[in-house]
Structure 1
Amino acid sequence: MQDRSARRRPRIATAVLAAVAVLGSAVLSGCDSDGDGTAEGAAAGKRKPPAAGPVWDRSPKSLAAVGDSITRGFDACSVLTDCPEVSWATGTDNMVRSLAVRLLGEPGAAARSWNHARTGARIAELPEQMALAAKEKPELVTVMIGANDACRDTVRYMTPVADFRSSFETAMRQLRAGAPKAQVYVSSVPDLMRLWETGRDKELVKRIWSLGVCRSMLSDPDDMGAEAAARRASVQKRVVAYNEVLRDVCAKDTRCRHDGGAVFAYPFTGAQLSQWDWFHPGRDGQARLAEIAYRNVTAEQPPA
Structure 2
Amino acid sequence: MTERTTRPRMRRRVAGAAALLFSAVAALTGCGGESSGDGVSRDAPAASSSSSSSPTPSPSPASGWNPKPGSVAAVGDSITRGFDACSMLADCPEVSWATGTDSLVRSLAVRLLGTTDVTDRSWNHAVSGARMVQLPEQMALAAKERPELVTVMMGANDACRDSVRLMTPVADFRASFEASMRQLRAGAPKAQVYVASVPDLKRLWSTGRLDEGAKRIWSLGVCRSMLADADDLGPAAVARRDAVRDRVVAYNEVLRDVCAKDRRCRYDGGAVFEFRFTGTQLSPWDWFHPSRDGQARLAEIAYRTVTATEPPA
TM range (shorter): 0.7 to 0.9
Paired position in structure 2 for 1:228: 237
Q: 1:72-83 residue pairs with structure 2 within 5 A? A: 72-83=81-92
1:289 matches 2:289 = no
Deviation at 1:201, TM superposition (A): 1.7
Structure 2 counterpart of 1:200, from 199, 209, 221: 209
Of 137, 144, 147, the residue aligned with 1:135 is 144
Equivalent residue number for residue 107 of structure 2? 98
In structure 2, what is the equivalent of residue 33 of structure 1? none
Superposed CA RMSD = 0.7
Partner amino acid for 1:82? D
**Given the two structures, how large is their TM-score scaled by the length of structure 1?**
0.82
Q: How does 1:145-164 map to 2 (within 5 A)?
A: 145-164=154-173
Which residue number in structure 1 is paired with residue 275 of structure 2?
Answer: 266
Task: Give the 5 Å matches for 1:47-126.
Answer: 54-126=63-135
Matched positions, count: 253
DSSP-derived class of the 1:72 partner: coil
> How far apart in 2 are the matches of 1:269 and 1:201?
12
* Other-structure match for 2:192: 183
Between the aligned partners of 1:293 and 1:110, the Cα distance in structure 2 is 19
Name 1:17's counterpart in structure 2: none
Gaps of 5+ in 1: 1-51
Structure 2 residue runs of 5 or longer lacking an equivalent are 1-60
What is the TM-score when the length of structure 2 is the normalising length?
A: 0.80
Instruction: Provide the residue aligned with 1:240 in structure 2.
Output: 249
Aligned mate of 1:219, from 201, 207, 228: 228
Report runs of 4+ in structure 1 exceeding 6 Å deviation.
none
1:271 is displaced (CA, Å) by: 1.1
CA distance in 2, matches of 1:54, 1:290: 23
Question: How far apart are 1:257 and its partner, in Å?
Answer: 0.3
Deviations 1:244-269 (A, max 9, x none): 00000000001000000000001111
* Higher radius of gyration, 1 or 2: 1
- Percent identity between the two aligned chains: 77
Q: Which structure has more RCO (C-alpha within 8 Å, separation ≥ 6)?
A: 2
Structure that is richer in helix per residue: 1
Q: How is 1:4-83 mapped onto 2 (pairs within 5 angstroms)?
A: 54-83=63-92
SS at match of 1:143: strand
Q: Secondary structure at the match of 2:183?
A: helix
